[in-house]
């Protein structure tokens, strides 16, 4: 095989559709756009969701829900991650240094997911009721 023998796979290349090039091409006159109407005109189209002037669906339906912009400052950590960390005393900086919570986090909460067996002293970190009970049962404390 030579470089000048290389050809694309059969059916990979096909001729571009040349519209408006006479009757014989089969795409002359209206060039496949049909007769009249917005879609037949040059520059005539509309934005996504436009319904011909009728009030669009996304504006007919009521607004719903809310997402707090403060959520990005909250983080959570599971009991199993605390267990794996293996530190006796844990605070916000310890968790950030270990990469268990994002640097941007301000409020951190422990959730009851997994188990904890070693005693851990938490300072400046919240916990759910179930997680608090599990930590205290393992001999740890929350401050």
Burial class (CB in 10 A: 0-12, 13-18, 19+), 116: buried
Strand, helix or coil for residue 69? coil
Mean pLDDT of 85-96: 92
pLDDT confidence tier of residue 97, bands split at 50, 70 and 90: very high
Q: What are residue 90's DSSP bridge partners?
A: 122
Residue 45, pLDDT above cutoff 90: no
Does 1 have pLDDT greater than 90? no
The pLDDT mean for the chain works out to: 93
* Confidence at 46, pLDDT banded by 50, 70, 90: confident
Share of the chain above pLDDT 90, in %: 89
Backbone angles phi, psi at 40, to 5 degrees: -90, -15
User: What pLDDT band is residue 40 in, cutting at 50, 70 and 90?
Assistant: very high
- Region 27-52: mean pLDDT is 92
Is 90 exceeded by the pLDDT of residue 143?
no
Q: Give the chain's domains with CATH numbers.
A: 71-142 (3.100.10.10)
Q: State which H helix or E strand residue 126 sits in.
A: strand 126-127
78-113 burial string, b = 16+ CB within 10 Å, else e?
Answer: bbebbeeeeeeebbbebbbeeebbeeebeebebebe
Q: Are 50 and 80 in contact (CB under 8 A)?
A: no
Tokens of 138: 């393992």
């Amino acid at each position: 095989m030579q470089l000048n023998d290389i050809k694309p796979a059969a059916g990979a290349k096909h001729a571009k559709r040349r519209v408006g090039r006479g009757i014989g091409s089969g795409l002359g006159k209206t060039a496949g756009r049909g007769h009249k109407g917005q879609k037949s005109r040059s520059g005539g189209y509309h934005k996504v969701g436009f319904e011909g002037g009728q009030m669009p669906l996304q504006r007919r339906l009521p607004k719903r829900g809310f997402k707090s912009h403060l959520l990005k400052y909250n983080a959570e950590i599971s009991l199993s991650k605390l267990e794996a960390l293996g530190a006796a005393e844990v605070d916000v900086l310890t968790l950030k240094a270990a990469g268990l919570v994002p640097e941007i986090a301000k409020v951190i909460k422990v959730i009851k997911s997994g188990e904890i067996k070693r005693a851990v002293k938490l300072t400046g970190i919240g916990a759910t009721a179930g997680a608090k009970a599990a930590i205290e049962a393992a001999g740890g404390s929350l401050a």
